[in-house]
Amino acid sequence: MEKVLSKIAEVTSDPYGYVAGLKERKNKKIIGCFPMHVPEEIVHAAGLIPVVIWRGNEPVTWGHAHVPPYDCGITRSFVDDAVRGKLSFMDGFVFHIRQCLQAGEFPFIMERHFKPAYQKILYLPAIYPGDATRDFALKELESFKTSLEDFTGNMISDDSLKKSIEIYNKNRSLMERVYEIRRAKPEILKAKEVMQIVWSGMLMPKEDHNELLAELISGMEEKSITPQKERIKVILVGCLCQTLQFDILDLIEDLGMIVPDDDLYIGSRYFANPVNLNGNPMKALADRYLTKSPLCPTKGVWDIHWGDEAIKRMRDNDAKGIISVRVKYCPPHTCYYPDFRSKMAEEGVTEVMIEMEHEIISLEGVKTRLQSFAETIGGV
């Protein structure tokens, strides 16, 4: 188990080096998929390696000449990486520009500074009622598939797509198993390690990640845990598109809390909902995109409540409170948050929101908030 975790930590500690090396080792082209909703299976079926674009590891410098400081962390960090040439190993990019406004300017900036060999703009629609939405989403995915066929010169057959979906579904079920064991034995992994496990799956070929997960699960199943002290269970919610600073995750645990489950993008949201393998695979991928739960505020779903989902997760895990992680300048989450908080108040759920930025976070300020939260729910 330690060996696997060490390998995973290696991948996530230097995603640039890892992905560049991957390209050499596998002799395949790399396609960066901007989070959160690009169906990577289609890229995989085209014989390419899809990787999910990540928030960088350095403060933004040159990027500020290209995007305003009031764009979110991953937007500024990704643009900074691109204009500084840190992503030169990428052969192409896919941007779903209807997710949020900020995603809409990447292709324009990329064309001017990066000139990728392949670039695709996706207009996946908000999940509004009606057949028009479903038809359009399917056509968008078909146009994505065609663009990859044009780029590679290879047709993507239904069979090859189904094989890719199988590999991705396998990954989802393995990740679900990791979470299941974690729910039963929350002390078995640190929250930081869980995030690294999910994140590594966004960087590694899923086949390789599946092998690691199988080994990890075996180790997790065998390992018995005797908690040294009672910890207060909390659920993390939010943090769309990007990683959360590991320091914050450590801080949560240092304050006597433990995370048995989460509703984070680099967390359970990423591997939720397997793709149905019966029938047309493109339709099945469209159906997965059009699934309303877990609710994503970028998808315009208003007939179910994000707060209800989070509360259910909290109660299912016998957790005592919810920590919302909001990325500064993330409009979809920011717009939704007041209603999320109201729902918590209505249901008598203790919740705290921490705001994170890319470069600087005042850990002391976050610590104070979390400490007070932990005291409220009965910890520390």
What type of residue is 224? S
CA–CA dist 106, 80 (Å, integer)? 11
Distances from the Cα of 35 to the Cα of 144, 162, 239, 316, 365, angstroms: 16, 22, 12, 28, 29
For residue 313, state whether it binds another protein (rule: CB under 8 A).
Answer: no
Tokens of 356: 């994170």
Please identify, among the stretches 10-18, 241-249, 274-282, 323-331, the one whose residues bind another protein according to the rule CB under 8 A: 323-331
For residue 185, state whether it binds another protein (rule: CB under 8 A).
Answer: no
For residue 34, state whether it binds another protein (rule: CB under 8 A).
Answer: no
Q: How far is the CB of 224 from another protein (least distance, A)?
A: 44
Q: How far is the CB of 106 from another protein (least distance, A)?
A: 9
Q: How far is the CB of 338 from another protein (least distance, A)?
A: 4
For residue 201, state whether it binds another protein (rule: CB under 8 A).
Answer: no
Q: How far is the CB of 237 from another protein (least distance, A)?
A: 16
Tokens of 89: 């190993």
CA–CA dist 375, 361 (Å, integer)? 22
Residue with tokens 């929101």: 353
Q: Closer CB to another protein, residue 170 or residue 305?
A: 305
For residue 89, state whether it binds another protein (rule: CB under 8 A).
Answer: no
CA–CA dist 168, 157 (Å, integer)? 17
Q: How far is the CB of 104 from another protein (least distance, A)?
A: 5
How are strands ordered across the β-sheet holding 92-96?
49-52, 30-33, 92-96, 118-122
Q: What single string gives the DSSP state of each residue in 136-191? A: HHHHHHHHHHHHHHHHHS----HHHHHHHHHHHHHHHHHHHHHHHHHHHSGGGS-H
Q: What single string gives the DSSP state of each residue in 349-364? A: -EEEEEEE-SS---HH
CA–CA dist 168, 156 (Å, integer)? 16
123, 150, 230, 315: which one contacts another protein (CB under 8 A)?
Answer: 123
Q: Which helix (H) or strand (E) holds 259?
A: strand 257-264
Q: How far is the CB of 70 from another protein (least distance, A)?
A: 5
For residue 359, state whether it binds another protein (rule: CB under 8 A).
Answer: no
155, 184, 225, 335: which one contacts another protein (CB under 8 A)?
Answer: 335
Q: Closer CB to another protein, residue 337 or residue 373?
A: 337
Site residue total, another protein (CB under 8 A): 48
CA–CA dist 330, 337 (Å, integer)? 11
- Kindly calculate the radius of gyration of the chain based on its CA atoms and give it in whole angstroms: 20
Q: Closer CB to another protein, residue 250 or residue 347?
A: 347
For residue 37, state whether it binds another protein (rule: CB under 8 A).
Answer: no
CA–CA dist 221, 305 (Å, integer)? 34
128, 155, 184, 227: which one contacts another protein (CB under 8 A)?
Answer: 128
Q: How far is the CB of 216 from another protein (least distance, A)?
A: 37
Q: Closer CB to another protein, residue 132 or residue 225?
A: 132
Q: Sketch the per residue contact string, 251 through 290, with another protein: x for CB under 8 A, - otherwise.
A: ----------------------------------------
Residues 53-82, interacting with another protein (CB under 8 A): 65-68, 70-71
Please identify, among the stretches 13-21, 28-36, 133-141, 188-196, the one whose residues bind another protein according to the rule CB under 8 A: 133-141
Q: Is 143 left (phi over 0), alpha (psi -120 to 50) or beta?
A: alpha
Which residues in this chain contact another protein in the complex, by CB under 8 A? 65-68, 70-71, 97-102, 104-105, 107-109, 112, 121, 123, 125-126, 128-133, 135-136, 139, 297-298, 300, 302, 305, 328-329, 331-332, 334-339, 341-342
